[in-house]
């Protein structure tokens, strides 16, 4: 019977550890997702800025 208790304790300990790992990984994924959203917005603004700048640049002659 003691062997069963030890096995149960081992399984419960592993489960607690894995739950902590999943929580930690979830936090990392959440932080990364937030950063990705920020970078996507930065990229959108840069593209918009570049498009506006290119509207003000004259086209080079065709023979160049």
What string of pLDDT tens digits covers the 64 residues of the chain?
689 999 999 999 999 999 999 999 999 999 999 999 999 999 999 999 999 998 887 777 887 5
Distance in angstroms between the alpha carbons of the first and the last residue of the chain:
89
* Residue 6 in domain: no
Res 61: pLDDT: 82
For 58, the 3-state DSSP assignment is coil
The residue segments making up the domain with residue 48 are: 18-53
Number of domains observed in the structure of the chain: 1
Could you tell me how far CA 5 lies from the centroid of its own chain? Answer: 41
* Residue 8 in domain: no
* Residue 24 in domain: yes
* Residue 28 in domain: yes
* Residue 11 in domain: no
DSSP summary character for residue 57: S
């Amino acid at each position: 019977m003691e062997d069963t208790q030890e096995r149960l304790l081992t399984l419960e300990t592993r489960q607690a550890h894995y739950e902590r790992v999943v929580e930690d990984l979830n936090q990392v994924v959440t932080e990364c997702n937030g950063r990705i959203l920020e970078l996507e917005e930065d990229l959108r603004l840069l593209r918009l800025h570049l498009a506006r700048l290119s509207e003000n640049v004259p086209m080079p002659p065709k023979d160049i």
